[in-house]
Structure 1
């Protein structure tokens, strides 16, 4: 199981896995979770994908995408503030240069057989660990995100609890919550599954 980071995909291989990621997002968010998201030709893409995010992707031995997340710096406004302000205790989210925002997290659990500690899928833990590792290497110390209360429970089981930024709120069919997660080596060591590797290198232009 391999976790990779892709920003502005250039090679055909990178373009292929990013395309597959958008298909996975459509299957999970529109299909399985019935979120109100726009899909075109079986791909889920929104305006935040045009901001040159870094994608964290979990690949299996055949380089099929098993999980994904989108990371964007939080200093120029966040998705939380623009799309989900009802999840914040105050309308404005105080941020600093060491905060990165994670969105569109999902894992294709139907294709993942292995389970690790707390009975969680190895791909789920690999995605958590990958987000933490990439964040640390690129100068970030906190991760802000909006998620649902189901994933909040999974984060707690994994030993990576979310610090809430407001009360949960119903958004369409989903009971949602916003919060902060630590990016430190202690969290990485707790989360990393037994089968884990990554290709991460610091992107100095994005670090604080």
Structure 2
């Protein structure tokens, strides 16, 4: 049974105020407090100029609480890759000849996962499937992102064969990667088939076919 976790898509302008507060609070907890990234925070929230009307959020909920999420921006619009990360890489450019997007602020709150008795459930892989399905429905070939060594390893362990385009060094002196994350049905099958609890993941895959947003045709 594919219960306990549901995924939703929302435009920035349509995000419920309560969910928005929860999202930006969890992002602060993840990116500022745990990872100690150089991020913009005001009060108890992490939010920046890329949280705007061009943004679409993917949100994973469990029993009414936000559990995980990610931020999509079509590469036709300003992104962190085009406007922020160039200082950490040489010749950093996003392609303009294929339909694609940037994904950023990808997180999973492990404390909420464990408190919700979801330890051992492939929550991160379900999030990956949701990301891929979003891209497929939008007609994107995939996603571009800047990730840490640890996040890159998680993608590889999930059997997602992402492509490293550039290597750089963060403000903390740590290795970071500019990657392309392909989105297709073969990738979905490779992620599902490798997981020991693949029956649950297949059920999530079926559930995720209903992931919708008003502009997805």
Q: Is the 8 A contact 1:74 1:97 kept in 2?
A: no
Partner of 1:42: 44
Q: Which digits, 9 at most, give the CA deviation of each residue in 1:147-172, with x for residues without a partner?
A: 10100000000011221111232332
Which runs of no fewer than 5 residues in structure 1 stay unpaired? none
Match of 1:71 in 2: 72
Pair 1:8 & 2:12 matched: yes
**Alpha-carbon distance between aligned partners in 2 of 1:170 and 1:53, rounded to the nearest angstrom:** 24
> What is the distance in 1 between the residues matched to 2:13 and 2:87?
33
Partner of 1:122: 122
1:143/1:182 contact within 8 Å kept: yes
Partner of 1:81: 82
- Whether the aligned pair in 1 keeps the contact of 2:12 and 2:53 (CA below 8 Å) is no
Q: Structure 2: any 5+ residue segments left out of the alignment?
A: 193-197
What displacement does 1:18 show? 2.5
- Range with bigger deviation, 84-93 or 33-42: 84-93
Residue 58 of structure 2: which of 32, 56, 59 is its match?
A: 56
1:96-151 deviation per Cα after TM superposition (whole angstroms, max 9, x unaligned): 341111011111022224456xxxx6221121111101110111111100110100
Q: Is the 8 A contact 1:3 1:126 kept in 2?
A: no
Report Cα offsets for 1:73-115 as digits up to 9, x if no partner.
Answer: 0124432121111454524332334111101111102222445
Output the TM-score relative to the length of structure 1.
0.84
Aligned positions of 1:1-208 closer than 5 A: 1-10=5-14, 14-60=16-62, 62-86=63-87, 88-113=89-114, 114=118, 122-172=122-172, 174-191=174-191, 194=200, 196=204, 197-198=207-208, 199-201=210-212, 203-204=214-215
Deviating beyond 3 angstroms after TM superposition, the runs of 4 or more aligned structure 1 residues are 8-11, 86-89, 113-116, 189-193
Does 139-148 or 162-171 show the bigger shift?
162-171
The higher relative CO (CA closer than 8 Å, separation ≥ 6) is in 1
CA contact (8 A) 2:165 2:178 kept: yes
> In structure 2, how many angstroms separate the alpha carbons of the residues matched to 1:39 and 1:78?
18
Q: Hey, what's the Cα distance between the residues in 2 that align with 1:201 and 1:26?
A: 27
C-alpha root-mean-square deviation of aligned residues, in Å?
2.3
Q: Specify the SS of the correspondent of 2:127.
A: helix
CA distance in 2, matches of 1:191, 1:87: 30
